[in-house]
Amino acid sequence: MVVPPRYLPDPGPRALAVRLGALATAGVPVRCRVYVGLHEPGETSPPHAVVTHTIARHLAAGTTAALPRFTTSSSPMQRVYDAASLGRVDAIGGDMAVFPADLASDLWSRVRERSVDPDDRVTAADLLLRLGYQRHAADVLGMAQVDPRTHVFDPTTAVKQLAVLFWHPHRPADLEALALRGARDERLPADARRAIALFVVVRNGRRGDDTPPLHEAAALARALPPADGLARQSLHRALAFVPFLRGDVVETFRLLDLASRAQLEVRPTTALDRLAWADHAFPLHETIARTHLRTGSPDRAVTASDELVSLAPHDHRTWAVRGDALLAARRWPEAVEAFDRAVALGGRPAARAAFLRGWALDRLGRRADATDSYRLSHRIDPTVTATGSACTTSRPG
């Protein structure tokens, strides 16, 4: 299996400033305008943007009780990067009150008014996090000054409080210790305790850390089995990290199969329920594809990514997973096509896609096209170091 170079953006505030400045002049505007002003989703909007717009509409209308439970969420940096890609660095600040009026839709204005004194603090905080206003989300939940070492979760807002803390600068160990305390706290609702426990499982799993906190959190989550099919799917999908970290491929895929069965048991009947169903399905199939890739089965990963193409053909993550799998399978022309799709969506993720497209073009002997793709990547994000088995260090110019 081929291992392409890892694409590693430089960390820190200085690199971020360079990245935003480069993105503002790179000429790769994001195609979807949901996060920059809450404009109507278009044909090229990914499902997570449609979910975000849907939440905003219901918050503005005061009908949040009709919303189902969603699971995926964009990074708070989505708005920042999207605004920069449009050349609008005046829209990247952290105060919703100074968002440029010419970019704001009527819905943006109504949401801003509603989020000042919302009837539903959890939904308001969720939307504010999605739009990149972490401080406002903390204020809505009464968390202006919070220390995770001493914080006690509010039973009515515990999961969203954890989400707010996740996007604030705290030591990861303090945050995970707080989450474990919450998962043990019998004052909290069972659904909240399970969700908080799975946060610890997933955090450790993604780092590749087979730790005592991971096993304690997994045991706590197992002791709180959900009745809802989508929640069962999320439980089995997260618990698959436990055998994966100890190299038990059979048990890993047994749990992912249970997750798939739970997903298929759900029969959505309304448009909102179908949106929530697809919102849960995407991370499941992304996990399945990535797991095949990491266990040395790139062709199976490509097949698994077909579901992502069906669910979200305008999501950068779809083409990142599919492109990575095609590279690993040495299917260079198809990989170029996958990364072409990602580049066409614009925005910051186009930088990684352009770099790996260049690497695939190199494998095809198309040196001039590869150089152009590398240059585009560097123009979007000049802070990146790419390393790997076939490439030691590269800053294409």
Q: How many other C-beta atoms lie within 10 A of the C-beta of residue 250?
A: 7
Beta pairing, strands 6-9 & 384-388: antiparallel
CA distance 257 to 363: 35
Average pLDDT over residues 21-38: 97
- Confidence category of residue 366, pLDDT binned at 50, 70, 90: very high
Among 4, 318, 371, which Cα is nearest to 337's?
318
For the segment 60-102, what is each residue's pLDDT rounded down to a tens digit? 999 999 999 999 888 999 999 999 999 999 999 999 999 999 9
For the segment 225-249, what is each residue's pLDDT rounded down to a tens digit? 998 999 999 999 999 999 999 999 9
Confirm if 58 and 52 have CB atoms less than 8 A apart: no
pTM of the predicted model as reported, rounded to 2 decimal places: 0.93
**Looking at residue 387, what is its pLDDT?**
65
Q: How many other C-beta atoms lie within 10 A of the C-beta of residue 254?
A: 14
Looking at 91-105, 116-130, 171-185, which range is the least confident one? Answer: 116-130
Tokens of 308: 């992502």
Q: Torsions phi, psi of 199, nearest 5?
A: -60, -45
- Confidence category of residue 3, pLDDT binned at 50, 70, 90: confident
- Confidence category of residue 397, pLDDT binned at 50, 70, 90: very low
CA distance 364 to 348: 26
For the segment 336-361, what is each residue's pLDDT rounded down to a tens digit? 999 999 999 999 999 999 999 999 99
Looking up tokens 């972490």, which residue turns up? 134
Tokens of 252: 């890993």
Q: List, in sequence order, every beta strand (DSSP E) within 129-254.
A: none
